[in-house]
Chains A and B, each alone.
Chain A
Amino acid sequence: MEEGCLAGSEGSWVLEDWWLEQRDEIAVASKGREGGGPPAVNSLPVLGAIGGTKLKPPQNVEVDIIDDTFTLRWARSKEPAGNVTVSADYLIPGIVDNWTKLPGCQHVTSATCDFSSLKMNVYEEIKLRIRAEEGNNTSPWHELDTFIPFQQARIGPPKVHLEAEDKAIAINISPPGAEDSVMWQQENPQYSVIIWRNMSGAQPWNETHHSRFPRIKIHKLMPETTYCVRVKARLLLHPNPAEFSPVHCVNTTAPLHPVPTPRLALATTPSSSIVENELPAPENIQVILENDTYVLKWDYTHDNVTFEAQWLKSYLKRMPGSESEKWVQVQGCERAPVARCAPPPDMFRKRFYVRVRASRGNSSSPWSREEEFDTRRRVVIPPLVVALKPLSSHSLQVSVGFQDQTELQHYPLTYEVTFWENASNAERKTFVEQRADFTVLSLKPRTVYCADAQALLEDRPRSQRSNVACATTEAGGAPGAPLAAGVSAALTVLLVLCAALALGKLVHYVFFPAGKPPATIDEYFPEEPMKNLLLSTSVERTEECFIIENVDAVSAKEVNRLDEDHKTYTSQASQDSGNYSIEDESGESGGSQAGEELGQRGAGAGARSAVGFA
């Protein structure tokens, strides 16, 4: 029997479809019996079910989570009003494995219940089930899909506080949720701000700003104007939907002008009231490197003021709450008489923000825009190492790199290479390349060329000039000169082998004869010529080998010299090629050790480009 049996239950009796079906069955059963007697007890529906109700579970059930508020909602029943209530259970796989009553959602008469009091890990899966109840009569359980509260939650509106200046509004944002929020306690929300001008008759204007930090200052606004903002939070890693804060509005103050400034008065709105002796904020704050010293400078067009600079370490921007007390005076810039000062070097570490204001007497300007600096962007690039390597009689390969291993090849470095012929009054040519290896063409043979280089990277100071490297182009000649040299070398080797073989035979013949002719040879071979033939043949061979040996000895020496100097073989060519020394140590060493001297190559290592020099 279904749970819809309501035998003996109080309350109204509701005829459900179930009952109508049972009534029809009873009628059929009666017809089937002979004599039409009363149906057997067992064939009747359980009497208790007669007039009982079958409750349906709540429909359209949904979980609504916003910040730390957990709400279960369902559609109101269309049934006649009664004592129908709703209850829910929860289950957390692996932690609470049995269905347990959901606190705040037991015997609820409304269409929602709040179960925020349940202490749970919002990052773990949870499963809910819900049913309707009327006394002892309950509907079947309706199970909801498993969900993770953190993923389900909407981000509530953040709290907003506005501070207005004449041309700027500072927006201080408190993160969504309560101070003891569980849902977002481990998050660093970012914020989107929509600001618009609330001015009737004026051209509509609005802007959207995104900030990673809970404090935003919007500049370049109009004085004495009403601005309104709405703010919402967002998470970088999670796509949780968020709600906007209520609209907050504020009026910017009257324009600030030093007195007297009649020309500036024209820029004010007709209804403005110029506040005398008020100073505008400095602008265009910069950090520049002067003679290896960092200098802070800014723009200010008015005289008779002193300046005060403050700085803030970047990581403090992430800290919730007011950061105003964390700004620190810049030493050496407490009362600067001019629009620049030199802070201590230890300030320039990692990233930081700087702000400046002007003062005259007891009045001070608003703080300038907060500028972020990362002085590592301005660090001097270490000097390059340059190497030259001759490729042919008309070209040299130029390679640049750093002494120590770095990963600078990932940076968009540009190399300025100065190249010149090593002669007096030689023209210097500059190549600007983004590749660390390139070829210079159209050079003169057997000529010494030199180069040095500098690296550039965005807004950084240039690197110091590198070493000067020199190398000599190879000797000129027929295009087949290398081939001829190779053939000549091969022939020379053959001649050497032949000479060695002949020499060996001679030695063997002279010192290790095969057999002494018998004394009676004269008897058998009295004729002199035959004997002489035997002897004279050896002599002749010796003479021939001697001649060959002399020629090959000269050739071998030539070959050895060729191997050392990378030159072509013909001596005539070596005599005609010019006056530059091939034993130039610097050139030779620079060229031959190109691969060894360089550490990590710069951008484009392995990519070649050819540059013509002529």
Chain B
Amino acid sequence: MTNRCTLQLTVLLCLTGAALSVNYGKLRFKLRSSNSACQTLLWQLITSPQHCLDDRMDFQIPRQVEQPQQFQKEEAMVVMYEMLQQIHTIFRRSFSNAGWNETIVEKLLEELDDQMDCLETALEEIKQEGKFPWENRTALRLKTYYLGILQYLKAKFYGRCAWTVVQVEIFRNVSFLNGLIGALQD
């Protein structure tokens, strides 16, 4: 009941004409609840990972993502958005994969879209405030990282084990996202 109420109270904060400055408390709340839902959905999606041990791959996520405390909150938002849109791109390609629970994938895409929607508004606001961190090398490193994932899938012909390996990797990503949310302090 408590969790249901909490989720029900997740309000989209990114309304047009919203306050001029970002309310980081609201943003954290919204992102945390949605991120938690993503973790649950990914956990449901991953099936029999023990059968795919031979397909494991070290995709080498940028180290900075594992140490979110070094980021300013504006940088954290950019890094988070980059991760979310890349994860969204990866799972968009999964619809053709036979045997997947499409309902779960759909819900996952909804959650990712939700978080992106929120961050988009917040990022536009910090642009207005002149605080946008244009020179963000971590975002470029993340693009290389996710490109590696896409190339891995392609090389493995989008096989079931390749997807399982990728799902496990994205599950790790979501836990890193939690750390980045913590960097969004007022």
A311-343 CB mask vs B (1 if < 8 Å, else 0) is: 001110011000000000000000000000000
Q: Which residue of A lies closest to B139 (CB)?
A: A237
B86-116 CB mask vs A (1 if < 8 Å, else 0) is: 1011001000000000000010011111101
Indicate whether B44 reaches chain A with its CB closer than 8 angstroms: no
Indicate whether B156 reaches chain A with its CB closer than 8 angstroms: no
Indicate whether B53 reaches chain A with its CB closer than 8 angstroms: no
Which residues of A lie under 8 Å from residue B6 when comparing CB positions? 404, 406
Instruction: Evaluate contact between A350 and B114: CB separation under 8 angstroms.
Output: yes
A123 touches which of B8, B29, B144 (Cβ 8 Å): B144
Instruction: Output the least CB separation between A219 and chain B (Å).
Output: 16
Given A186-B146, A382-B5, are A318 and B88 neighbors across the interface (CB < 8 Å)? Answer: yes
Interchain Cβ contacts within 8 Å, total number: 95
Indicate whether A239 reaches chain B with its CB closer than 8 angstroms: yes
Instruction: Evaluate contact between B8 and A376: CB separation under 8 angstroms.
Output: yes
Given A188-B85, A212-B120, are A150 and B140 neighbors across the interface (CB < 8 Å)? Answer: yes
Instruction: Evaluate contact between B2 and A404: CB separation under 8 angstroms.
Output: yes
Instruction: Evaluate contact between A318 and B9: CB separation under 8 angstroms.
Output: no
Q: What is the size, in residues, of chain A's interface with B at 8 Å between Cβ atoms? A: 36
Which residues of A lie under 8 Å from residue B106 when comparing CB positions? 313, 315
Give Cα A212 to B118, complex, Å. Answer: 12
B4-24 CB mask vs A (1 if < 8 Å, else 0) is: 011011111000000000010
Instruction: Evaluate contact between B120 and A315: CB separation under 8 angstroms.
Output: no
Instruction: Evaluate contact between A377 and B11: CB separation under 8 angstroms.
Output: yes
Which residues of A lie under 8 Å from residue B147 when comparing CB positions? 121, 123, 186
Instruction: Evaluate contact between B140 and A148: CB separation under 8 angstroms.
Output: yes
Instruction: Evaluate contact between B26 and A315: CB separation under 8 angstroms.
Output: no
Give Cα A248 to B163, complex, Å. Answer: 42
Indicate whether A585 reaches chain B with its CB closer than 8 angstroms: no
Give Cα A150 to B86, complex, Å. Answer: 16
Q: Is the interface of B mostly helix, strand, loop or mixed?
A: helix
Q: Which residue of A lies closest to B90 (CB)?
A: A186
Q: Which residue of A lies closest to B24 (CB)?
A: A410
Give Cα A379 to B5, complex, Å. Answer: 9
Give Cα A334 to B141, complex, Å. Answer: 49
Indicate whether B82 reaches chain A with its CB closer than 8 angstroms: yes
Which residues of B lie under 8 Å from residue A512 when comparing CB positions? none
Instruction: Evaluate contact between B143 and A186: CB separation under 8 angstroms.
Output: yes
Indicate whether B78 reaches chain A with its CB closer than 8 angstroms: yes
Which residues of B lie under 8 Å from residue A351 when comparing CB positions? 12, 110, 113-114, 117
Instruction: Evaluate contact between A237 and B12: CB separation under 8 angstroms.
Output: no
Which residues of B lie under 8 Å from residue A3 when comparing CB positions? none
Q: Which residue of B lies closest to A318 (CB)?
A: B113
Which residues of A lie under 8 Å from residue B29 when comparing CB positions? 407, 410
Instruction: Identify which of B8, B86, B112, B146 gathers the most chain A CB atoms within 10 Å of its CB.
Output: B8
Instruction: Evaluate contact between A350 and B9: CB separation under 8 angstroms.
Output: no
Which residues of B lie under 8 Å from residue A185 when comparing CB positions? 150
Instruction: Evaluate contact between B9 and A406: CB separation under 8 angstroms.
Output: yes
Give Cα A236 to B82, complex, Å. Answer: 10
Instruction: Evaluate contact between B5 and A404: CB separation under 8 angstroms.
Output: yes
Q: Which residue of A lies closest to B127 (CB)?
A: A236
Instruction: Evaluate contact between A150 and B120: CB separation under 8 angstroms.
Output: no
Instruction: Evaluate contact between B12 and A186: CB separation under 8 angstroms.
Output: no
Instruction: Evaluate contact between A313 and B110: CB separation under 8 angstroms.
Output: yes
Indicate whether A411 reaches chain B with its CB closer than 8 angstroms: yes
A336-375 CB mask vs B (1 if < 8 Å, else 0) is: 0000000000000111000000000000000000000010
**Chain A positions near chain B (C-beta within 8 angstroms):** 121, 123-124, 148, 150-151, 185-188, 212, 236-239, 313-315, 318-319, 349-351, 374, 376-377, 379, 381-382, 404, 406-411
10 contacts between A and B (CB under 8 A): A123-B140, A148-B140, A212-B120, A236-B124, A237-B78, A237-B139, A315-B112, A315-B114, A351-B113, A351-B117
Given contacts A236-B123, A318-B116, A379-B8, 10 further A-B contacts (CB under 8 A): A148-B140, A151-B140, A186-B147, A188-B89, A237-B81, A237-B123, A314-B110, A315-B114, A376-B12, A381-B9
**Chain B positions near chain A (C-beta within 8 angstroms):** 2, 5-6, 8-12, 23, 25-26, 28-29, 78, 81-82, 85-86, 88-89, 92, 106, 109-114, 116-117, 120, 123-124, 134, 136, 139-141, 143-144, 146-147, 150
The 8 closest A-B pairs by CB, nearest first: A315-B113, A410-B25, A407-B29, A410-B26, A379-B8, A315-B109, A123-B140, A123-B144
